[in-house]
Each structure stands twice: as C-alpha cells, then as structure tokens.
C-alpha cells in the first residue's frame, strides 16, 4: 500500500503539480497577465447559461465592452444560439472542456477528446474554430503543453464570485481593488458547476455593472484577451518537449542558485550580469595590464544572465545575429559594471572580474584576458555543463556540438575558459558616467562580429558566457 501511495504521489507531482507550478510561476506556455497601463481583460467561465449569459451580453453591449468566454461543451451544445450571439457581437470564445472536470482526473487522450468535441460545437455555431483554452480550475497537466494544443489562458485576478454568500457589494469592492492595467479577471456567468451557487451570477452582474461604471470614469478599457496591448501568443515552437521542460527546470534552478549564492544583479535596464564578491585561491594569474592576481585577492565573479541568453537564442536568425546581440548587451553593461565597482563599498576593493566562458576569440576586444582553466574536476564538469547548455538553448547547438566534418575544431572551440578583466582596465576602458557611445549601424556591428570570431561558422562560440 505504501508503495502504491508513493507512486501515486510521484505521478501527481510530475503529471500535474510541477506543470501547474511551472506555468503559474514562469508563465510557461500560458498567458495570464498583460503589459499595459489602461486595459483590463474580462473573462467568463462555465457558461453559457440560458438565464444569465444573455443578461451579461446585454450588459457588455450597453458599455461597448468585449470579453472572452470559456465555455463548457455540454452547455454550449444546449445553447448554440447564445454561442452564435457571443461571436456575432465581437466576443472571443474559448474552450473550458466538454464537461467541467479537472485535467488531473483524466488521461491526456481524454482531455484531447474533450477539447476537440467542444471545438466542433463552437465551430458549428460560429463558423470559426476557437484558439484559446482554459483548463477547469486552471489546473494543467504535463500534456497540456503539447504542440497540438491551443493557447492556454489563465488569469491574474479571481474573486470567489461563484459563491452567492459573497454578495454584490463585497465582490464589487474586490474588483475595484484590482483595477490595474494588464489584469485578466476571472468571473463566472454560470453557477451550475460543482461547488458553485446556481444564483451567484446574479450577484456578479450587479458587481460588474458597478465596476464598469468606475472603470469608465477612471479611463480604463475592458477588452478581449487577444485585444490587450502586447498580447503575444505563447504557442510552442519546434523545440522538442523534453528540451522545453529541461529549460524550465534549469531556469527555475538558476533562480534558486541566485538566492543561495547571494548574487547581486547589475543595475541596468535589462540586466545581463549577476555578480558576487569572492576571494581568489589558486595559482597566480598575470593580466596583460601588469596586474597579478594571487591568493587572498578580492575579485568579482560574473554570472551571465541565462534567461537573456535564452531570449537571444529565440530571437536570433543565425549564429552571427546571436553574437551581435550578445556583443551589444555586454558592451552596454560594462559601463554599469565600472560604475558599480567605483561606487559600491562592497566591490570597491576588487582587483579584477572573472567569468567562465566558451569565448575563444573576440573577447579581447572588450578588454578581457582569456586564460585556460586548470585541469581538474571543476574544469571537466564546467565543460559538460556549458556544452549541455548550448545544446539545449541554441537551435543549432546539438548540431554544433556534434561537429560533423568540423568536429575537432568544434570540440576545441567549446572548451570553457577563464575570462579575466582587471578593475583598472574596466575603469580606463568604460567611463563610469554611463555616457552613451555613438550608435553603430547593423552592418558595422555585423562586420565587427565576423572579424572578431573569424568566420560565420565560428561565431557561435562567442555567445555562451555564464
């Protein structure tokens, strides 16, 4: 019995708990909040209801508001005329399963059948296939992230409006407190699901009208989810599911590591470095400006922001384009680093900066000294880690590491190195007043990147600073 319970715990953890935690915490493959100052998205679950949904549509029409409805297939099947009215009046319609049942309690194939059946019902009534999906209670399972699925929409604010005892005034008060740009409200236009009060939508309609009056007076606009400024569908790309899952786990661990290691984030608009103060122990290191780093010297340990590296990889059309983005970001950050070392008493005594990187050529242009890592367990473990990271993050990473006919040169280029820069070089090369350098054209940066890394085929090695 204990073994069965343990296996049940493991299955629940990996099938539902971890995917739900990851999607909520990191926004993986879900949309749950917009990035806008004056728009709020209204979403309604569990309908349509023959009594309350028409009243809701009348209210939305009165205020000229568009909303997003996540309908239950069995209800939509009974009231296709309401589904058609939603569509005809400009609202967006998504799927909330055929029956209101948690995905945790269903096999992946059963969930898919529920979605497909509800999709056909909506398409039959409107002539259009739905694009959006909201799992009941917002609980996703591992297979909801499948590329065959549609965009998952969650929410940023819910109010307990399925309970009649809450009352319209208290509900309206809760909604007023969340009147902020980018919020995705979760409300219910049907009280026939498990745990809900059948008459609760009547209270919701009263509270919603009060909210719409207040929102109008304060200059807010209520919109469909897909009309919200900055809305971007987080649909899956061609990266295999196992890679996406590894990336999420790795980014999650990196957050934990930053806390455990007490890293400081360099203050820039888009942070690219995380740093901490360290005391050097090892063989003396001679830098090109004459500085010598010996046991007991203080230095700054650099950690490249790997979330930014992931973003660069996703946005890059090629290895050269990725290197261009990296060079621009690092050059933009180094003046901030010089300012931090000059102004922060914690780092003022540092003689140098040190990072571990796969850079072989080109980093000297930025002022770094490249040194071989002392042979040992740490060097070998770092090599494995960085090669794994490159294979996961970059679309050509696995192919790059495999090497083909350039395997030997590729393996040599992917050896991690120590990247040093003395504090004096940082101060001399990068003014601490953060003055903006003259902007280079895309062609100039491209030519400089190619000249630094030697050729297009070698440029990928320039991008993996950690």
Catalytic residues: 45, 188
Going through 361-454 in order, the beta strands assigned E by DSSP cover 369-372, 417-422
> Measured between alpha carbons, how far is 233 from 30 in angstroms, rounded to an integer?
8
Nearest to 390 by CA among 460, 304, 454: 460
> Measured between alpha carbons, how far is 283 from 281 in angstroms, rounded to an integer?
7
CB 102 within 8 A of CB 139: yes
Q: What single DSSP character describes residue 464?
A: -
> Measured between alpha carbons, how far is 448 from 364 in angstroms, rounded to an integer?
13
**Residues composing the chain:** 466
CB 406 within 8 A of CB 257: no
HEC states along 294-325?
CCCCEEEEEEECHHHHHHHHHHCCCHHHHHHH
Nearest to 426 by CA among 329, 374, 351, 359: 351
Residue 25, SS3? helix
């Amino acid at each position: 019995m204990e073994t069965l319970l343990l296996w049940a715990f493991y299955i629940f953890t990996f099938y539902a708990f971890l995917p739900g935690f990851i999607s909520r915490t990191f926004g993986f493959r879900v949309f749950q909040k917009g990035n806008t100052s004056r728009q709020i998205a209204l979403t309604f679950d569990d309908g349509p209801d023959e009594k309350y949904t028409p009243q809701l549509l009348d209210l939305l029409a009165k205020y000229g508001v568009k909303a997003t409805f996540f309908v239950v297939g069995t209800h939509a099947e009974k009231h296709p005329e309401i589904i058609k009215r939603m569509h005809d009046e400009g609202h967006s319609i998504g799927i909330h399963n055929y029956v209101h049942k948690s995905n945790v309690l269903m096999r992946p194939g059963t969930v898919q059948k529920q979605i497909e059946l509800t999709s056909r019902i909506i398409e039959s009534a409107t002539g259009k296939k739905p694009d959006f999906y909201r799992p009941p209670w917002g609980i996703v399972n591992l297979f909801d992230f499948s590329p065959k699925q549609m965009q998952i929409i969650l929410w940023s604010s819910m109010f307990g409006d399925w309970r009649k005892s809450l009352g319209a005034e208290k509900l309206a008060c809760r909604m007023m407190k969340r009147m902020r740009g980018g919020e995705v409200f979760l409300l219910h236009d049907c009280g026939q699901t498990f745990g809900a009060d059948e008459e609760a939508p009547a209270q919701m309609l009263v509270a919603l009208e009060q909210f719409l009056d207040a929102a109008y007076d304060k200059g807010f606009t209520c919109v469909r989810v897909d009309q919200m400024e900055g809305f971007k569908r987080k649909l899956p790309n061609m990266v295999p599911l196992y890679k996406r899952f590894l990336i999420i786990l790795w980014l999650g661990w990196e957050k934990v590591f930053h806390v455990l290691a007490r890293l400081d984030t360099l203050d820039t608009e888009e942070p690219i470095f995380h740093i901490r103060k360290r005391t050097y122990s090892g063989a003396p290191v001679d830098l090109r400006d004459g500085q010598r780093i010996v046991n007991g010297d203080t230095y700054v340990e650099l950690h490249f922001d790997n979330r930014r590296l992931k973003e660069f990889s996703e946005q890059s059309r090629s290895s050269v384009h990725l290197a261009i983005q990296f060079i621009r970001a690092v050059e933009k950050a180094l003046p901030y680093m010089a300012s931090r070392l000059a102004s922060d008493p914690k780092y003022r005594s540092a003689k140098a900066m040190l990072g571990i990187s796969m850079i072989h050529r080109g980093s000297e242009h930025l002022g770094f000294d490249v040194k071989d890592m002392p042979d040992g367990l740490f060097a070998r473990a770092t090599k494995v880690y960085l090669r794994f990271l490159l294979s996961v993050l970059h679309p050509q990473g696995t192919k790059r590491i495999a090497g083909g006919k350039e395997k030997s040169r590729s393996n040599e280029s992917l050896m991690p190195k120590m990247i040093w820069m003395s504090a004096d070089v940082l101060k001399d090369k990068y003014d601490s007043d953060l003055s903006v350098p003259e902007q280079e054209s895309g062609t100039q940066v491209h030519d400089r990147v190619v000249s630094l890394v030697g050729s297009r085929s070698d440029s990928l090695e320039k991008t993996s600073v950690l």
